[in-house]
Homo-oligomer: A and B are copies of this chain.
């Protein structure tokens, strides 16, 4: 119960409404897709674990002719666990960027291949940035309706700042690569 983030994601969502495992996955995919992934293979076993530890309770739900499903609710114990986790500031988070890993060894291939990688990176985040602009507008309109919206907005703004930094860097990086090899040619000719 130290590193497992799925626990807290589930508790976080159950904290403001009861949900099934299936519904949880949809919520996560919709809300956290920019900085988290989910899978049933992680969600269902974690729900069992949480139920065993009394952080959530499960109820079988058969609404009328509806098919049966299992609805989970957070307990007081679960809420405390969530609050405790949210309160603790993060120490030594190492954010893993595969693009940097590749670029670090960029010298092993021709420069145009690196430029191509950077361009593909740029395109991806151009789109993602636009997605976030849409979220921002929506959230600002309903900001004072729910305290949660403030925090959702903060994560959106984070994404925007960071994606903007990505795009600025990408342009600069392409420029530097091109500059490097033209300058190198000049000195080789001497």
Which residues of A are at the interface with B, using a C-beta cutoff of 8 A?
5, 8-9, 12, 15, 31-37, 79, 82-83, 85-90, 93-109, 113-114, 116-117, 120-121, 143-144, 146-148, 150-155, 157-159, 161-162, 164-166, 168-169, 172-173, 176-177, 180, 183-184, 187
Evaluate contact between A105 and B151: CB separation under 8 angstroms.
Answer: yes
Evaluate contact between B168 and A35: CB separation under 8 angstroms.
Answer: no
Evaluate contact between B165 and A35: CB separation under 8 angstroms.
Answer: no
Evaluate contact between A35 and B82: CB separation under 8 angstroms.
Answer: no
Evaluate contact between B15 and A89: CB separation under 8 angstroms.
Answer: no
Q: Given that A36-B94, A113-B87, A144-B183 are contacting pairs, would A103 and B169 also be in contact in the complex, using a CB cutoff of 8 Å?
A: no
A119 CB to closest chain B CB, in angstroms? 8
Distance in angstroms between the alpha carbons of A83 and B159 in the assembled complex: 31
Residues on the B chain within 8 Å of A166, using CB:
161-162
Distance in angstroms between the alpha carbons of A150 and B185 in the assembled complex: 15
